Amino acid sequence: MKTTPDALAALIGQRVDLIDTPALVVDLDAMDRNIQRMADFARKHQVRWRPHAKMHKSAELALLLQQAGAQGVCVQKVSEAEALAAGGVLDITITNEVIAMPKLHRAARLATALASRGGRLGVAVDSAEGIERLAEAMAQSGSDAGMDVLVEIDVGQGRCGVPPGEAAVALALAVARHPRLRFAGLQAYHGRAQHFASAGERREAIARTVQQAAHTRDLIEAAGLPVPLVTGSGTGTLVNEAASGVYGELQAGSFLFMDADYARNERDPAQPAFEHALFVKTQVISVRDTHAVCDAGHKSHAIDSGLPTVAHLPADRALRYANGGDEHGILYAEGDKARLPALGRMLWLVPGHCDPTVNLHDFMIGVRGGLAQGVVERIIRVDARGALS
């Protein structure tokens, strides 16, 4: 396991301006407020929350969320589950299909280890062959620990999952036939809908999603098998699934940090006012007549959901960030009174998409007291960085 490098450990207690650039910085006060908002929201709607750790990939943050009431974590990969389990997380759902036998053997071992510590492992399936492989791995593990199995239905994402309806019934019944597999419910996530720009579009899309999930649940129960849970949702649509009466668990993860992409979309009035808590600190390294250049490019932040915005500037002094390649950003003066920043100036970027941005960094630097005058409180390890398998 990686330890914190000396250069980062030495930062603890230091003022924000001593953080070298580019660096991934968490505004801990803003993050704590986001956690409180989410906890309040889930309590009000009487729904469980299991934040997706594919976003933060940190055992420390997973445990912090659990202290605030979260059920456990979701992950996408077996290796993410292993990394978080090593950091003390005991309740893990892999919201994705696992097909390779070596990975399934690892999952079976992990299920056994978690069960022995009072935890559990869940995994999604969307094929009969996937169920057979999983059952074989569990049988070969020789353990009595069971595995929770969610049947994934495609409720609009157009990726994995079987169509809602009869295909899902057949899979649920197939799961239930295996002694070491527990049918745990339906995985029903509409990922694309998270990013629809208007709140109305999102509401309509999730109305269909909810209807499909409810219909599939009813068919499975009519076949004699209880459906303990329908799980899914994300930060963009959680108000809709929470109010549905069908979803028992929310998997939203991005609320913790938020990103520029979510901020660009219309907020549903019912959605908690989550705020940006994740920033890339960058420095101006070159100034020209027409533009300035900073030291953060797309090796510092992901650009799949758009470019970062420059934070904490009044509108009339706004700067626009343009892509300068892997290691550079180009800054243009945009506000009426905006001037190009001086050589050496420190700036704060809000990444376009938090998940793949965090995955570029080994550590996040947690700041208490705000980004202007705060101090470094802790270094948060990205335990599952690069955990792909």
Single out the segment in contact with a second copy by CB under 8 A; choices: 138-146, 158-166, 178-186, 252-260: 158-166
Q: Does 343 bind a second copy (CB under 8 A)?
A: yes
- Closest of 314, 317, 322 to residue 340, by C-alpha: 317
CB of 354 to a second copy, least distance (A): 11
- What are the residues whose beta carbons fall under 8 Å from the beta carbon of 37, sequence distance 6 or more? 255, 272, 273, 274
CB 183 within 8 A of CB 149: yes
**Helix spans in 181-230 (H):** 199-222
Place of tokens 């009174």: 337
Q: Which of 361, 364, 366, 374 binds a second copy (CB under 8 A)?
A: 361
Rg for the chain (alpha carbons), in Å?
22
Q: Which of 29, 275, 362, 377 binds a second copy (CB under 8 A)?
A: 362
Give how many residues touch a second copy by CB under 8 A: 60
Q: Does 16 bind a second copy (CB under 8 A)?
A: no
CB of 303 to a second copy, least distance (A): 6
Q: Does 304 bind a second copy (CB under 8 A)?
A: yes
Cβ closest to a second copy, residue 268 vs residue 327: 327
- Closest of 189, 217, 219, 185 to residue 205, by C-alpha: 189
Q: Which of 20, 166, 201, 221 binds a second copy (CB under 8 A)?
A: 20
Single out the segment in contact with a second copy by CB under 8 A; choices: 65-73, 218-226, 228-236, 280-288: 280-288
How do 363-368 and 375-381 pair as beta strands? antiparallel
Burial of 317 (0-12, 13-18, 19+ CB in 10 A): middle
Q: Does 339 bind a second copy (CB under 8 A)?
A: no
Q: Does 10 bind a second copy (CB under 8 A)?
A: no
Which residues sit opposite 123 in a β-bridge?
Answer: 94, 149
Q: Which of 325, 337, 339, 373 binds a second copy (CB under 8 A)?
A: 325
Q: Which of residues 41-100 bind a second copy (CB under 8 A)?
A: 54, 76-77, 96-100
Q: Does 165 bind a second copy (CB under 8 A)?
A: no
